[in-house]
Structure 1
């Protein structure tokens, strides 16, 4: 087994052994704050690039993504 295969196996084992802790961390308030900041930045940039023509659609997409990855 090569070094890359070994590293991939170790990563997979780590994820399997710690999936509850990982899911908990992804649903934490800190993760929510980070995801909100990133999504706000992307949405703001998209609004600027489109000159405000698609603000409603951009906000809808932002909210859909936030609902899928956040805890709120």
Structure 2
């Protein structure tokens, strides 16, 4: 399960990074900060999955990313 461990680590790194970067946008509403952080993590995980599969499942990965975003209340 090396690929999934790598994806998990990347997602955690993105979450940590987005928390630090989001603090620079204090004037934004908390919901906007959360949505920006979620999108950043989803984009990073999708990119990592596409890279790990060498783009073979890009359409499916992007579709899953969009479905997750919608379920989390994104646009």
Coarse TM-score class (shorter-chain normalised) = 0.5 to 0.7
In 1, the alpha carbon distance for the partners of 2:74 and 2:56 equals 30
Q: Unpaired runs of 5+ in structure 2?
A: 1-29
CA displacement at 1:34 relative to structure 2? 0.2
1:61 counterpart (58, 61, 64):
64
CA displacement at 1:70 relative to structure 2? 3.0
CA displacement at 1:67 relative to structure 2? 0.5
Give TM-score, length-normalised by structure 2.
0.58
Which consecutive aligned stretches of 4+ in structure 1 deviate over 6 angstroms post-superposition?
none
Number of equivalent positions: 46
Q: 1:71 to 1:57 in 2, by over 3 A?
A: closer
> RMSD of the TM alignment (CA)?
1.1
In 1, the alpha carbon distance for the partners of 2:53 and 2:47 equals 10
Give TM-score, length-normalised by structure 1.
0.60
Structure index of larger Rg: 1
Q: Unpaired runs of 5+ in structure 1?
A: 1-24
Q: In the alignment, is residue 51 of structure 1 matched against residue 54 of structure 2?
A: yes
